[in-house]
Each structure stands twice: as structure tokens, then as C-alpha cells.
Amino acid sequence: MLNSAIKAYRATKHAVLSVFASPSRPGEALTDTHVRLVVAASMTGLNLNKNKYYWHSTAGVILDAGFVLAKEGYEGEVPEHYAADLGEPTIEAVNRFLAAFEGPEATA
């Protein structure tokens, strides 16, 4: 995860990590929301054969941990995709980011 943040920082001067977020739809169970978000992530090229687990959180917990979530605005960005800005790509920032999540849960 730190390597991904460093690569993004070198390219754009912003250390960002992708998150997929959406409120549950009316009548949708939380586990079904998670499945929907995993499917959205796979539509961006995430290989579910290599990424067999996901971690979950809420926007409030991520924001309370001091991170900003923003749309990147690139062509083809799925509605559920957001970039979490880590600030400087340090191990401390990554650990703080990871602490905001629960899991892992199996993608299949």
C-alpha cells in the first residue's frame, strides 16, 4: 500500500489510495452493499483473482482519521470510486489509514 501511495505521489505530488464507497440502497443488506462495491472495483481493472480480500469502513471513520475523500474526475471513473488523500506517503499515514478499516473479508 505504501508503494502505491509513493508511486501516486511521485506522479502527481498527491499520495492517494482508491476507496469505493456508496450508501446502502433501500432494503439492501450491508453485505450486499459490500458485494456491489467489490464489483464496482473490479470494473476499474482490479483483478479479483489476485485480490481475494477487501477491508471496509465508513466515510465518517475515514474522515475522522483525517483523510479527505474526493473524486478524481478521470474519464470512465465509476461513481463509487473515490481517492483518499494521504498527504505525505509515510508509513505512519498508511498505518493511520489502515486503522480506519475492518477486515479482511473474502471477495468471493
Structural domain boundaries enclosing 56:
2-106
Percentage, residues of the chain above pLDDT 70: 87
CA distance 33 to 1: 24
Q: What is the pLDDT of residue 6?
A: 57
CA distance 20 to 41: 7
Prediction pTM value: 0.80
What distance, in Å, lies between the first and last C-alpha atoms of the chain? 22
Q: How many domains does the chain have?
A: 1
Closest CA to 63 of 78, 82, 77: 82
pLDDT tens per residue, range 60-79: 999 999 999 999 898 999 99
pLDDT tens per residue, range 40-63: 999 888 888 888 999 999 999 999
CA distance 55 to 96: 14
